[in-house]
Structure 1
Amino acid sequence: SPPPRYTEASLIKVLEEKGIGRPSTYAPILDTIQKRRYVTKEGKQFVPTEIGFKVTDLLKKYFDGVINVDFTANLENWLDKIADGHATYTKVITDFYKVFSDELNAANVEASKNKKEEAEVSDVVCEKCGAKMIVKLGRYGKYLACPNYPDCKNIKPYSLVNGPEEVSDVHCDKCGTLMVYRMGPYGRYLKCPNCNANKAIVIDTSIVCPKCHEGHMIQRRTKRGRTFYGCSRYPACDMALWNEPVDQFCKVCGSIMVKKVSRDGTETIVCSNPECPTAPKKSTTKGRRATKKTASKDET
């Protein structure tokens, strides 16, 4: 059987063993691979996406000199030396760019050639110029584009390859047309095929807002793509929580309870009020790049 898929805890453990990253960079690494849709999370496990496989294959093919564990771990050591004053950043960057520049130039030539030769032609016809649209891969997945670009800049969702788009039961607020499902940078959303109006898919927790007692707590996303839960009456009510709320209240302070997932994937129900005695305390972890303390006069 294949090895188990990575979880947050097991991936961080491997990074530590390979000497990649620091405690302060583990969270951004996990956030980046999900935000760029290289992986999706199914339960506790990370599952690689088609974009993740494609990006990995391209990087390994064209940038083998820098996309490898040894190079990454060694670069971390050089960054430490720069921080300690034992190396200059100009020399480190110059040495890196000597390898990277040659690979980048070779990749630009070969990749552009392969891009034209390996273009996948679909059966979907461009209604603007009549050409058969080709399949392209963007940062949010596959889409259809006209091969006559830049003369024709028409693009369409990849879902049209498998037939008509999935129609929802939600009517457009502007023209009343039934909206269709599309995939965007923050997941699925609704789009009007008639007037191109967009609308977010509201995930309602059915939990009454503990602040105004009128709206419901619904799932929202920040501009950076991070999930949080806020009142449906916003901006009239600014109630917001980072963790998913549950229909329970703390017996000590009366605040609403939320789901808290630990690093190993264990889920617990805790109080949402950080000042409550029952709320979990934040642990502070010092990175390996912490500033060195000088010896005191007494120690000297």
Structure 2
Amino acid sequence: MTTTDVATPRAGVAVPTAAVGTRNNSLKHILVLAKRSLIKTMRTPEALIDVTLQPVIFLAMFTYIFGGAIAGGSQQAYLQFLLPGILGQTIAMASVALGQNLNADIEKGVFDRFRSLPIARSVPLVGAVAADLVRYLILFTVTMATGLLMGFNATGGWLGVMGALALSMGFALCFGWVSVYVGMKVRTPGAVQGIMFLLVLPLSFASNVFVPTATMPGWMQSFVKVNPITHLVGSVRALMLGGPLQVHLLWTLAWMAVLLVVFFPLALRAYRRRA
């Protein structure tokens, strides 16, 4: 038998590679670090205020203070309009914490310790993003539970609610890369919060979250009609309550693709340079 015969596998025989094991190990490492992020969050319950108390306060405040004036005296009618909007707004705002937490971990030297471990360099980042899915799920559950207690009626049925959940969480994952990028570029967690709020608040209020687009000045309507929050909220309303879905859904999917194509590579590049 020649050396060539030994080195060359026979045709049709599967050759084990390290790639499969590496992928499996990376998945385990991601889950372990996602669990670490969740444990850290659960030990500081105040870190969940933005996905627990905040949506409850927003929903109650706008329904009972402004609902009568906006909806012609019918707070219940305004609740039907408002709840899908609050979901879109609060999910976008919840992504701010992702960039803050990553920035804080880097400043504390946590990522220096991760580099000494036998794990892929991207694992801590992906683990943090995966853990954020749980925060979005908590936010959705709290908002829906509060809305149902206040009298919200999801006329589109639970299938529509589940579709709204899937779309909202998908959008949140895509929008979260903006927060990751900002978190990698600025120096302090406070700066991350300030910059992200400057971005999120205009997107939230210059949209159809709180009032119909037709009630706004013409120059503002031009922005509202291309605002990604507008189309996410329009999609969630259509799924939960019925109504035209296709245009809003296509716009939302297009915006999700744009956010991924633009900010995912930017966030990864900034992460490699910073961490």
Q: Same fold (TM over 0.5)?
A: no
Which structure has the bigger radius of gyration? 1
Which structure has greater helix proportion? 2
* Interval containing the TM-score (normalised by the shorter chain): under 0.3
TM-score, normalisation: structure 2: 0.22
TM-score, normalisation: structure 1: 0.21
Which structure has greater strand proportion? 1
